Copies of this chain bind each other. A is one copy, B any other.
Amino acid sequence: MTRMTVGILIFDAVEVLDFAGPFEVLSRARTVPGVASRLSDDAAPFDVFTVARTTAPVMAIGGLRVSPAHSFTSAPHIDLLIVPGGFGTRALLNDPVTLEWVRGRASEATITASVCTGALVLATLGLLANRRATTHYGAFDLLAAIDASIIVARDVRFVDDGVITSAGVSAGLDMALHIVDRQCGRAVADETAAYIEYRRN
């Protein structure tokens, strides 16, 4: 099986569930149902890893310390790029190194996606121009202020309009399951949701 590579950006003050939710869903998806298929990666459709500016540990919100699997330069080709949110996104909006990296990787990716206020990063790069998109409810106005051409969707779990964006925090689980659905079909997405005992919204 050819696995889709999934690079999840992490950074200081990233919201824990924003990256951990999609990490969980995409790393535990299996094209073969049941608990046993999770004991190996043989039936794993995604190869999921974290990426940060450097490989130095990242301090997520609440003090969870995560060591990135890759730096911007060491990361392999990324098919699915995920930009999570958290208060740390505000610093990213003024960080040319991160913005250029996201721009470059998004241009090469098959799918670019954000969770929560990760949408602010994509908006700053113009990647959401003239698209429907969503974010955490606390950032709807900021998203529109960054790019007035964005059609902000306010009452959805996620939007798939070329670029995929999700609502706040836990909505990243639904977005990730949507991606499983899109890539592997409904049965695989439903079984993955059942494995993690998640009731899709």
Known contacts A17-B20, A197-B168, A198-B169: A48-B62 contact under CB 8 Å = yes
Q: Which residues of B contact A61 (CB under 8 A)?
A: 27-28
Shortest CB distance A167–B (Å): 5
One digit per residue, 1 when the CB lies within 8 angstroms of any chain B CB and 0 when it does not, for chain A 43-82 equals 0000011100000010001111111010000000000000
In the complex, what distance in Å separates the CA atom of A168 from the CA atom of B198? Answer: 9
Shortest CB distance A90–B (Å): 11
Shortest CB distance A96–B (Å): 25
Copies of this chain, complex-wide, total 2
Q: A16 in the interface, Cβ–Cβ < 8 Å?
A: yes
Q: A101 in the interface, Cβ–Cβ < 8 Å?
A: no
Shortest CB distance A54–B (Å): 14
Q: A15 in the interface, Cβ–Cβ < 8 Å?
A: yes
Task: Check B35–A50 contact: CB distance below 8 A.
Answer: no
One digit per residue, 1 when the CB lies within 8 angstroms of any chain B CB and 0 when it does not, for chain A 28-44 equals 10000001001100000
Shortest CB distance A97–B (Å): 23
| Range of interface residues on A (Cβ < 8 Å) | 35 or more
Specify which of B65, B136, B171 is in contact with A69 (CB 8 Å cutoff).
B65
Q: Which residues of B contact A62 (CB under 8 A)?
A: 23-24, 27-28, 48
Q: Which residues of B contact A17 (CB under 8 A)?
A: 20-21, 24, 196
Considering only CB atoms, which chain B residue lies closest to A49 in the complex? Answer: B63
Known contacts A87-B39, A198-B169: A64-B66 contact under CB 8 Å = yes
Known contacts A39-B87, A62-B23, A138-B35: A67-B67 contact under CB 8 Å = yes
The 5 closest A-B pairs by CB, nearest first: A27-B62, A20-B20, A168-B197, A169-B196, A17-B24
Q: Pull 5 A–B residue pairs with CB atoms less than 8 Å apart, ordered by A.
A: A17-B196, A38-B87, A67-B67, A169-B195, A170-B197
